[in-house]
Chain A
Amino acid sequence: DQQVKQNSPSLSVQEGRISILNCDYTNSMFDYFLWYKKYPAEGPTFLISISSIKDKNEDGRFTVFLNKSAKHLSLHIVPSQPGDSAVYFCAANTGRRALTFGSGTRLQVQP
């Protein structure tokens, strides 16, 4: 039973445009959501997070939106840069417990 789903395995965007990565979850007990970025042969790197009491969090070019009623979150990257090309994982947890990850979306930013 996949509690965190990333239904798009890949996404390609042009440099300078917006990248939107989507994530759905089923467990209503999740209270914290995170996005990680992963390059080949490296561990995941933390990008941005959001608590379930908020609906938006922004950090530079990265913004995460949370829609609790739809159990949906998204990561917006504006403007996209070639260095953003990586696999992006959505993750969630409850009360500082272990993270549950989605299967990832491979983002390719074309110069």
Chain B
Amino acid sequence: DAGVTQSPTHLIKTRGQHVTLRCSPISGHKSVSWYQQVLGQGPQFIFQYYEKEERGRGNFPDRFSARQFPNYSSELNVNALLLGDSALYLCASTSRENTEAFFGQGTRLTVV
């Protein structure tokens, strides 16, 4: 079984641009969460989706948005990119039965 897959793995964008990051959860997992990890810190929660509905939102500006599709894959969108948005963006999926979240390898976003 494939784990959580994220695309792209690396991305370079210019300030002011828009970016879309993609995530496919583990087969059978219906919950997807997004996290941002900057250097030297732990992952910070951005969004959680379950069965295509938003279940939680972290302390991030409205430039960040996300959605979950009928096949449970998810997109994270960030508008008007700032230099401070440079980070590793992690997607995690969770099954209904367990609490453990399983992470993808992340997307390394660099804003220049």
Give A residues with C-beta under 8 Å from B.
4, 6, 32, 34, 36, 41-46, 49, 89, 91, 93, 96-104
Contact A99 B4 (CB under 8 A): no
CB distance from A12 to the nearest CB of B (A): 18
Chain B residue total in the interface (Cβ 8 A) = 26
CB distance from A48 to the nearest CB of B (A): 9
Give me 14 other A-B pairs in contact (C-beta within 8 A), A98-B45, A99-B92 excluded.
A32-B99, A41-B105, A43-B103, A44-B43, A46-B100, A49-B99, A89-B42, A96-B94, A96-B99, A97-B55, A98-B58, A99-B35, A100-B45, A103-B41
Give B residues with C-beta under 8 Å from A.
4, 6, 31, 33, 35, 40-45, 48, 55-56, 58, 90, 92, 94, 99-106
Partner of B45 from the list A32, A34, A99 (CB cut-off 8 Å) is: A99
Contact B103 A34 (CB under 8 A): no
Pick 30 A–B contacts, CB within 8 A, sort by A: A4-B42, A6-B42, A34-B99, A36-B103, A43-B6, A43-B92, A43-B105, A46-B102, A46-B103, A49-B99, A49-B100, A89-B42, A89-B43, A91-B42, A96-B94, A97-B48, A97-B56, A98-B33, A98-B45, A98-B48, A98-B56, A98-B58, A99-B43, A99-B92, A99-B101, A101-B35, A101-B42, A103-B40, A104-B41, A104-B42
Q: Given A49-B100, A97-B56, verify A102-B105 contact (CB < 8 Å).
A: no
Docked CA distance A91–B92 (Å): 13
Docked CA distance A99–B37 (Å): 13
CB distance from A41 to the nearest CB of B (A): 7
